[in-house]
Chains A and B, each alone.
Chain A
């Protein structure tokens, strides 16, 4: 799984490793108003996380992982807020 760069947005899908960061960085730089789709992103490497934080692109769909949502300052798609006691 990797990042699919579409016409209007980039779709981050599955488990993303550090090697994907470089391409994402280049893509973010090339777009004046980047948009990312994280709906099917299951996990990502710190390198990608900090890249997203630095560029703060608009998010088309938030990820399912509550911790990741919280880190990116998004409202999770699911109903479980991070840290809520199980």
Chain B
């Protein structure tokens, strides 16, 4: 059970990857519809997805994916031209598939009624084929409807290529409808790619017969080159086509696979043989009836007779003058395995080849269900093979656990210097202290390397978030009647997984805003002398230990007059203050909570989640947002984020005898302010720093401690100047205490409700450092 769960998880994971790739490719193709490599790539992704579905019984999913594959196959072959209607149908199918995958991931099965929607989408896709023969009939891919193979239709025989019709003598007895013939012609240079075609051919799943295709002439033996592959292979296999495609997936262009139609079973038999075969068949058929009519047939006997009759039915389809329709009818009417002997016997009499016992309908052969049977062990095999890739997929919680352990290790190793100090001062063991320090240096280096390595594991390219943008921009701009080109730069820039993931929602919000409010409609743009299509540029780069993301549009920019008016109207700031703001400051108003310029709540933005959500989301991962807007030329939003959230750089301070940490990225500067320079106005204290008024707050007061802040010997206060919502604020503390890298642990349990603290950290000497959250504090 466990294994199948794992396979299912793997399936969901891979299906999601496939869908992501498909979405990306669909967008790429829309941009470059004439690129065959993109189409091939897209087809491969869809095909892989379909193949994966085939391993499970997710019929609704497979149905829609299969239709998509058929459509793409035609496009790829150049028989259809790719167009927007197709793209829309494919996108819709993709969205539906994604929903199904989500449902599978959540419940392990498809939701009820999924099939109806799948049928509808599949019909839409097939509608794009425009009256072409539904290709599904021409390619009985086995996985689609294994329980009910396609009727022996003439077109299927026509589709069989020449090389597959003339099978070597001796293969006929083994060739059955639904079996596959593979012609594998390795390229001459294949040995240099590490391939061993003979080995590959021998390992073909369901291998029944194998023939080496030798060149017509080997040429002069003196010139024979043993490292140029000159042989090919003809293979007969009982596996469905999909498994063979999987087996030969590395050499698809060197392989031709054909599924034997029903007729191929005995196509070259002479009339005399046909007759003989018919007689034998009728005899065997009668034998089965006799067996079934024995007084007490056991379950095993019935099952065996059932299988024999089924096989005979297959042979009958290959006979001359077989009545296809009647055979299909016979197959569908055949009682199941669980049916009793009498039911089977009466069915057998009913459909006797000579039509004697009852009724004269010659039974019809049905494609043998064998095609569906040999697959049982194949999925496992495939799974094992896939495991051989160089990429290891690990659940994130395992990595997180590893990271926690390394964090503890870092803390534990920091205890060694204290130990060394104690050894020296307390126990007077100089020598020992030095040795401890040496050991510490070694452990320190290893721990840092470990920490670095695990951080690398958690690093993801920001491009993983950007991938979704293409679709978003396409859909939104279409809906808004705007022409927008999305340019993405620096998608390889890496950052911690958590940082990247926390970015997704804010970024989508920003993009929506840019599309909705920023970029104008083509007419407005042209009137303003700008190109008709807008450009949305998302770029990422690394700047020291930060990742910088720029989202730039060349739209109208922020309408500061309107923003001011709205902010006043909503009572967010007083009117006189709004007028006093500079242009740049006015633009920042859009970050205020509750701000929205939308007159009515539109589908896209203005749903009450404003830019303040973006800012708080970014600040939650210790990032910053900056807005720069030029009226008429566009808006640039710059997000600055830490590369990793694992280690926090803090400044340690002392106040009222306790030690606290303050995250370094909030600190602008540390200053010492003479006590007499502090202006007091009622309860408010301020100080003038470089011509700017900076409000001061005392930490003891904020924390509810009654002691006054102490002064140093020169009667100066230690002031930490923090950035608070774009304004500097001074935090008066007792003493600065240096900086440290700590692993921040959020407060949990009883302490979880405490405000004013971001968390705690364990210091090397075993003490606990409380990390302040100045934003909550102030």
Contacts and interface: CB of A to CB of B under 8 A. Distances in A.
Contacts of A71: 198, 210-212
Interface in A30-82: 43-51, 53-55, 67, 70-71, 82
A54 B224 CA distance: 8
10 contacts: A22-B227, A24-B226, A44-B198, A50-B230, A53-B212, A54-B224, A54-B230, A71-B198, A83-B174, A85-B174
Given A18-B191, A82-B209, A53 B214 contact: yes
A54 B218 contact: yes
Given A43-B199, A44-B198, A49 B212 contact: yes
A82 B236 CA distance: 12
Interface of A: 18, 21-22, 24-25, 29, 43-51, 53-55, 67, 70-71, 82-83, 85
A45 B231 contact: no
Given A53-B231, A82-B209, A82-B210, A29 B196 contact: no
Interface in B608-622: none
Contact of A54 (B186, B197, B221): B221
Contact of B210 (A45, A51, A70, A85): A70
Contact of B199 (A29, A46, A83, A85): A46
A39 to B, nearest CB: 19
B226 A47 contact: yes
Contacts of B685: none
Contacts of A49: 198, 212, 231
Contacts of A46: 186, 191, 196-199, 229, 231
B676 interface: no
Contact of B191 (A29, A47, A70): A47
A18 B746 CA distance: 60
Given A50-B231, A71-B212, A25 B224 contact: yes
Given A45-B198, A71-B211, 14 more contacts: A18-B191, A18-B227, A22-B226, A25-B224, A46-B186, A46-B229, A47-B191, A47-B226, A51-B224, A53-B218, A54-B218, A71-B212, A82-B210, A85-B174
Interface string B193-213: 000111100100000111110
Contacts of B221: 29, 54-55
A30 B224 CA distance: 13
A67 B186 CA distance: 18
Q: Interface range on chain B: under 10, 10 to 19, 20 to 34, or 35 or more?
A: 20 to 34
Nearest to A20: B226
A50 B224 CA distance: 10
Interface in B761-776: none
A27 to B, nearest CB: 12
A54 B214 CA distance: 9
Interface string B155-199: 000000000000000000010000000000010000100001111
Interface string B216-228: 0010011010110
B199 A45 contact: yes
A71 B222 CA distance: 23
Contacts of A82: 209-210
Contacts of B186: 46
A50 B227 CA distance: 9
Nearest to A81: B170
A48 B230 CA distance: 11
B214 A18 contact: no
A29 B198 CA distance: 23
A62 to B, nearest CB: 15
Contact of B229 (A29, A43, A50, A55): A50
A53 B212 CA distance: 10
Contacts of A67: 202, 210
Contacts of B197: 46
Nearest to B202: A67
A14 B386 CA distance: 28
Most buried by B among A24, A55, A70, A83: A83
